[in-house]
A = this chain, B = another copy of it.
Amino acid sequence: MIDTKTRILDAAERLFAEHGFDATSLRAITKEAKVNLASVNYHFQSKDALIEALFVRRISPLNDERIRMLNEVERRAAGAAAPIEELVDAFVRPVLPGGAPGHHSIGILLGRMYAAPGGLLARVIAPQMDAIRERFGRAFRRSLPGLEAEEIFWRIHFTIGALAHTLASRGLLEFISRGMCSAADADQARTQLIRFVTGGLRAPSLVEKP
């Protein structure tokens, strides 16, 4: 029998991803997890703290995997500038379904969190993302010497947008089911995403070079 704390986290992750944070009550979570209602306030202190714990559990391994893949890409490049496609792949793959070990619905939740108001993103996610952003920013600057740091910043921002939208979009699957898109598998989505983002990153700089 899995321990109560994990059962709560798993159920919460699943239900939050499906219905959103506000629309999911602790009663629904404890029912899904087959635990007592009070367990949530015993193991965590509040609903907010539960949500926070939920991200804490996933984000670190996720970003570790990103860094691991990035290091691997740079190792293969052997000192030269790494190919943009591979940098992007290291950035997006771990967060896409099937991309990281123990991966469940955290990608959807992350995508949703980026659009949500409130302090959780600023308190929990943003600090973790700053390190990733910094590390990948350096790699991109290396492989895109024609761009200024500020432009890199913007383009990473747009990359996150395209990624988060792909993760969060409920509409996508509907479009797919309506025949507007034939391949529903994650590989197809990732390949298309990488191609698009790589093109965006490679776009010429807006800054006039002397």
Contacts and interface: CB of A to CB of B under 8 A. Distances in A.
Nearest to A110: B115
A191 interface: yes
Contact of A121 (B170, B180, B189): B170
Contacts of A122: 170-171, 174
Contact of A158 (B116, B166, B182): B166
Copy total for this chain: 2
Interface string A159-172: 11111111011111
Interface of A: 18-20, 22-23, 111-112, 114-118, 121-122, 126, 150-151, 153-155, 157-166, 168-172, 174-175, 180-183, 189, 191-193, 195-204, 206
Shortest 9 CB-CB distances between A and B: which pairs? Answer: A161-B165, A199-B203, A22-B22, A115-B115, A200-B200, A115-B168, A158-B162, A196-B200, A161-B162
Nearest to A116: B20
